[in-house]
Structure 1
């Protein structure tokens, strides 16, 4: 079968792409593209792309293999397919490469290579420009620290706040921090109705590990669901907040629901975004690389880029990636232990009383858990009174990568939770 790739045209594009040129520095490898019955090799020697031609019997260090359907979807930019590529593969597309010598140091280069292929032979990957900061004039958040104690350990936790009205706690995603919420805090419409408070969990962002009460450097970061819930409740109490709302994303979405189940009397309601009802789909998830000393944080940060929205401004997609690359060692893995293994509303979802504490589950249209077994839609299906909505054109990190769309979509949902809460109090 004749190759479907335009070798000379693609080779020129690979050689002249500034980002790929930077990412392949020091790399020597053969990247094999197998599409159905054909195979083509991209040759990289000491950081230089030297050839793109039909495959020979040379050993390939990286294999991207798929059916015609899988390649067609990938080159067209199908979000689910591009995420599958980052995650390792699915039935129509897969990546095979040694984790430590190829994927960890050069996985980002592989994914950039695919985007260059798309530009030449498919639907060019959208890189939406950001011409101005839409919230520059209202970016008035103030940062502070608060101290509290949990289980004999004293914590100093950083938070930023803006706005006035109903207190609203903003919970970041696994392995990240409150910088993800900067454009939400700066939204002038949200500021009119909500006292927004975005915090860094202990060990995250600007909340340094505890100075007293724990020798944290002698053990891995693995707090677990119960301790994380205690941190949030202690933070809420330290600020003397009266039944605040809680808005969390990803693991924060799961935390929002879990807190209503176990500490509902402390809160006025919650919005759980991109959090699941249960996580059986994560049963085969390999969390071990995310605290392996041979793998840099830049590796999993680049995976997070693939979960940003293809419609979001490119600088904000990159900003989210930067936030992930700049957090503490092992923090992402430790949070994922809770995300993938400790959250299951089939066990305790019945403890959520939505007549007292309203719960709204939402999911981004492009989020990998949208419609998945055990996904956010099942929260509304199984918990009486819980509401559900799909947020069009948004993805996993919507509050940071596409805040204009996110803020417009989330305000009426927050307003509905407030109305439901007031109805419960009447």
Structure 2
């Protein structure tokens, strides 16, 4: 198996295709496999890389809670690119991965051809942050104690921002649920507690975001309520960003609407590569 060495963990990755590179960073309730539709589509013209975050086998599951968090998430993305000898890539992330994508753009703009943070921002509005953090701590403890087969998978799959996938694509939802149940309870529990539950509010990054000029496509479903306010804020403060909102769509936008998602990204990448995504 191919692994990239990061601080305190080996990261399993896969790649397909050749050309300009795209790095895909998955969400909390997923792993590298949730990018399969994008890997197959974009590898026709791009070099596509997807990896499993620390805590998600076949990547390592560190025992030390200090080896989880937003700083490690960004450093891991950099580690994968450097391991592959890639100096610059399109960075695409969903939810937890979208958060890492934004922070990657702030900390490593020289390594980003563009950014696509999709479904990013849950827990960021200040009025919601305390409750969000408390929920993350409780969910993390439950995952560590019970794993995904203790009811967490069913709760996640039927959540108000995820039930859309089941309604649109029952077969795809069933496959997603089977993969979800395979995740490490300890790895995802520590991720929930120390990454999800302790990460910054995106609103706290306003000064840095206003200076970040990397071409950015914000992506959110119009039924992904916890993320809409944050994405409107991001559109207001990012100087080189566009906002694409997909109708009648929840959180797992790349699974719910893969054709529309892929088309939006392909158009965005092409515009950036032709030098036409310019500061307004």
TM tier, smaller: 0.7 to 0.9
Aligned to 1:400: 255
| Conserved? CA contact 2:129–2:201, under 8 Å | no
Aligned to 2:180: 324
TM-score of the two chains, using structure 1 as the length reference: 0.57
Aligned to 1:412: 267
Deviations, residues 126-154 of structure 1 (Å, cap 9, x unaligned): xxxxxxxxxxxxxxxxxx5133242xx3x
Does residue 363 of the first structure (1) align with residue 220 of the second (2)? yes
**CA 1:294 to 1:164, structure 2 compared with 1: closer, same or farther past 3 Å?**
closer
Structure showing greater relative contact order (alpha-carbon pairs closer than 8 Å, 6 or more residues apart): 2
Secondary structure, aligned partner of 1:228? helix
Aligned to 1:290: 140
The Cα shift of 1:418 comes to 3.5
**CA 1:421 to 1:342, structure 2 compared with 1: closer, same or farther past 3 Å?**
farther
Does residue 383 of the first structure (1) align with residue 238 of the second (2)? yes
**CA 1:420 to 1:394, structure 2 compared with 1: closer, same or farther past 3 Å?**
farther
The Cα shift of 1:346 comes to 3.1
Deviations, residues 215-270 of structure 1 (Å, cap 9, x unaligned): x44x4476111122111111111111121011000011111101111121222221
| Conserved? CA contact 1:269–1:421, under 8 Å | no
**CA 1:410 to 1:266, structure 2 compared with 1: closer, same or farther past 3 Å?**
closer
Structure (1 or 2) with the larger CA radius of gyration: 1
Tell me which protein shows more helix as a share of its residues: 2
| Conserved? CA contact 2:235–2:243, under 8 Å | yes
Aligned to 2:196: 339
Aligned to 1:111: none
The partner residue of 1:194 within 46, 51, 57 is 46
Secondary structure, aligned partner of 1:335? helix
The Cα shift of 1:183 comes to 1.6
Secondary structure, aligned partner of 2:71? helix
List runs of 5+ in structure 2 lacking aligned partners. Answer: none
**CA 1:376 to 1:161, structure 2 compared with 1: closer, same or farther past 3 Å?**
same
Secondary structure, aligned partner of 1:158? strand
The Cα shift of 1:300 comes to 2.1
List runs of 5+ in structure 1 lacking aligned partners. Answer: 1-143, 210-215
Secondary structure, aligned partner of 1:393? coil
| Conserved? CA contact 2:102–2:117, under 8 Å | yes
The partner residue of 2:168 within 308, 312, 316 is 312
CA distance in 2, matches of 1:258, 1:420: 23
Secondary structure, aligned partner of 1:193? coil
CA distance in 2, matches of 1:421, 1:242: 22
Aligned to 1:156: 10
The Cα shift of 1:338 comes to 2.6
CA distance in 1, matches of 2:31, 2:169: 20
**CA 1:200 to 1:294, structure 2 compared with 1: closer, same or farther past 3 Å?**
closer
CA-atom RMSD, angstroms? Answer: 2.6
Aligned to 1:173: 27
**CA 1:173 to 1:405, structure 2 compared with 1: closer, same or farther past 3 Å?**
same
